[in-house]
Amino acid sequence: MEPAKHDIRFDEPLYTVAEAARFLGVPPSTFSTWAKGYERRPAGRPAVRGEAVVSSMRAARNLPSIPFIGLAEGLVLAAFRRAGVSLQQIRLAAAVLEREIGFEHALASKSLYTDGAVILYDFAERGDTRLSGLTEVVSRQQVFAPVVEDYLKRIEYGHDGWASMVASPVTRRPVVVADPKRAFGSPIFLHGAAPVESVVSRIRAGDPPASVAKDFGVPLRDVDEYLGATRLVAA
């Protein structure tokens, strides 16, 4: 399964590292490590390098470098990390999935949702100690752990099997989504389709949330839930 040529989900940088991190509810430094890799130089020891796990593109500082498919991959990484899997094990798991499923960007494919649990469980059961942490993600019933399942349910897949819309995991229920076919991929409210930045900027300027929600046609409970969640993230 390969993406179509000139597919905006794969080809266009839509988000900065900070924007992607905010959507996923992770620190920008964490997402930067996922997207850019890292290099550490412990005193007196050889450098330690980690490859990127999330798709990204070269871009000047503070300009968009993350395509939509990278945002979807980041959502899965956030789920695995929340389940307690180390980044090193996630990197190995991603390589296993891509090899077994047979194509790149496996983390953003529907095949991960339908077949990934079985594949990862089989590898963990073979005794590879490097994958021992996957038992936190996949149960003996060969299904994903509830925390991972909740995140994966926030991905909507297109007819081609690739992620086509993702809901931010910062709220308890889907409230804000990213859809590359709408608003150039910028986060919008699921109900009302208002750009999140437009709503938030009005409230920051001092407008009452109830008035802003009404003006944009967004349920007030959605606005309140998003604002409460992002304040917690920021804290």
pLDDT along the chain (235 residues), means of 10: 75 96 95 86 68 90 94 95 85 85 88 86 71 70 85 95 96 97 96 97 95 98 95 54
Q: Is 105 left (phi over 0), alpha (psi -120 to 50) or beta?
A: left
pLDDT of residue 102: 82
Question: What is the torsional sign of CA 149, 153, 156, 161?
Answer: positive
Running DSSP on this structure, what letter comes out for residue 76? H
pLDDT number for residue 86 = 84
pLDDT score, position 49: 72
Residue with tokens 């499923």: 101
Rg (CA), the chain: 18
3-class SS at 17? helix
- The span from the CA of 136 to the CA of 147, in Å, is 10
Q: Read off the DSSP letter of residue 130.
A: G
What are the Cα distances from residue 201, in Å, to 5, 22, 68, 152, 209?
A: 36, 15, 23, 30, 11
So what's the pLDDT on residue 235?
39
Would you state the pLDDT for residue 196?
97
Domain ranges of the chain: 8-186, 187-235
